Amino acid sequence: MLAQIVELVEKAQNSHAPIQKLTDKVSDIFVPVVLIIAILTFLTWYVLLGASLANALIFAVAVVVIACPCALGLATPTALMVGTGRGAKLGILIKNGEVLEAVNEIQTVVFDKTGTITVGKPQVTDIVGDETQVLRVATSLEAASEHPLAAAILNAPG
């Protein structure tokens, strides 16, 4: 169970939310445009206006520094990692960045009597031991039961 929780948190931290995909697209266009503007700035100051090489370079570098998308490119994944990590520390398992972004739209949260939020459709995720034998024994034990966990065992692939 702990390994599944760790795996879920790692997947969430490595996933890309729609906002991160948008920032990546913007950066893909923005960075080349800024570099072109910096080169044009250098050429304008050095060739057309006769500025010294040092001053023309300073002006070109200033364009790059002012327009640096570093904050945009680093802030989004950092915020997502911090959000999923902080959620995990508080006992909230966030499946991926898209879920974290969608939380903003939630208006009502309903918990069951134990204080958990579930889909309500349990399923077998792991089997320890000989899978065929474990499923055969578990299926024979749960065949006449109407319990939701019995249904999960009976519907287990294998």
Enzyme catalytic residues:
112
Neighbours of 148 (CB within 10 A): 10
End-to-end CA distance of the chain: 21
CA count, 13 A, side-chain hemisphere, 144:
1
Which of these, 95, 80, 82, 86, lies nearest to 9 by C-alpha position? Answer: 95
Measured CA to CA, the distance from residue 22 to residue 27 in angstroms comes to 9
Tokens for 120, please give them.
């309500």
d(CA 17, CA 19): 5
